[in-house]
Structures are given as C-alpha cells and as structure tokens.
C-alpha cells in the first residue's frame, strides 16, 4: 500500500486519513512503528530474554534512595510486597518467575483447587514492589550502571 492517496496528499500512518503534519512531527524514528497492533504483537510474542526486561518491578522507597534506581527486572530469590489485588500487603520471597505466562509465584501466596490441591497464585510483576534484592555480581553491576546512567542524563536539584 502506498503512502499517497488518490489526490496525491500524503496519508497518515493509519493509511486512511490525510496526514496531519503535527502528528507526523511527533514521531521520532521512522523505523519504529506507533501502531497499537504491532506494539501488542511485539509484546505478546516477545522472546524470553526480552520478557525478562519487560517483567520488571519497582523498588521500595528505601531501596530506591539507596541505589538511586527506580526499577529492576525481577528474579527468583527477591523478596517482594504485593501492592494490588486480593493479596495486597502480603510479603514473601519469589519462588518462580514464569516468563511464559507473564507472572511470578510468591511463597505462601496460594489458592486451593476444587480437589483440595494447593497451587501458587500467579501475580504480575508490575503489581509488586521489591523490598529485598538478591544481589550477585551481575545484579550489582546492573544497579551501578542504571544509577550512573540516571545521574548523567537527568539534571540534579543543585544544577537547576
């Protein structure tokens, strides 16, 4: 399909209406789509190494001030507090990060099935805050990298 309509006027990214110069100016990169359909497809078909980053959780206020980092990808032995839903204000250790199902399982956050079996209740990582990090050398390097990147890009209170 061409970007030009019958009259020769350039069409919008949706392909039907004539292009509005204001919306075209808002798009930063020509190579990146702003289509909702494509964004959703990319999200739901993302491979595991990209899902890791998409499944990030915020840090608690104390950790945020300590490391100067807002959020990190969640991992297995992190301790979290649930901030939304039926299990709100429950704390526990992450026992599994289930990337395929976009959820995490937290110890003692379970429900009983009809046959009496206990199963872990899936919770999305955006609905928890990390209260204690499991630190190894890679995680420390990540925090170091993210905190220095934040200082470099943003203006501090003293400068402004």
Which residues are CB-contacts of 133 (< 8 A; sequence separation ≥ 6)? 59, 63, 72, 78, 139, 143
| Whether pLDDT at 9 is above 90 | no
Which residues are CB-contacts of 96 (< 8 A; sequence separation ≥ 6)? 76, 104, 105, 120
Contact 30, 77 (CB under 8 A): no
In this prediction the pTM is: 0.76
Query: Which of 14-18, 60-64, 95-99 is the least confident region?
Result: 14-18
Give the per-residue pLDDT at 115.
97
Give the per-residue pLDDT at 114.
97
Contact 113, 39 (CB under 8 A): no
Residue 89, both tokens: 């204000």
Write out pLDDT tens, residues 73-113: 999 999 999 999 999 999 999 999 999 999 999 999 999 99
What value does the mean pLDDT of the chain take? 88
């Amino acid at each position: 399909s061409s970007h030009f309509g019958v009259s020769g006027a350039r069409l919008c990214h949706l392909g039907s209406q004539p292009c509005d110069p204001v919306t075209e100016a808002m798009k930063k990169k020509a190579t990146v789509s702003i289509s909702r359909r494509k964004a959703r497809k990319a999200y739901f078909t993302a491979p595991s190494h990209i899902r890791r980053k998409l499944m990030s959780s915020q840090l608690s206020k104390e950790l945020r001030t300590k490391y100067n980092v807002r959020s990190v990808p969640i991992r297995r032995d992190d301790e979290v507090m649930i901030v939304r839903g039926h299990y709100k204000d429950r704390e526990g250790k992450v026992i599994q990060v289930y990337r395929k199902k976009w959820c995490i399982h937290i110890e003692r956050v379970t429900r009983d099935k009809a046959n009496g079996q206990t199963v872990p209740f899936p919770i999305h990582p955006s609905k928890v805050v990390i209260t204690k990090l499991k630190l190894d050398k890679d995680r420390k390097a990540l925090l170091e990298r993210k905190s220095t990147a934040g200082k470099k890009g943003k203006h501090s209170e003293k400068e402004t």
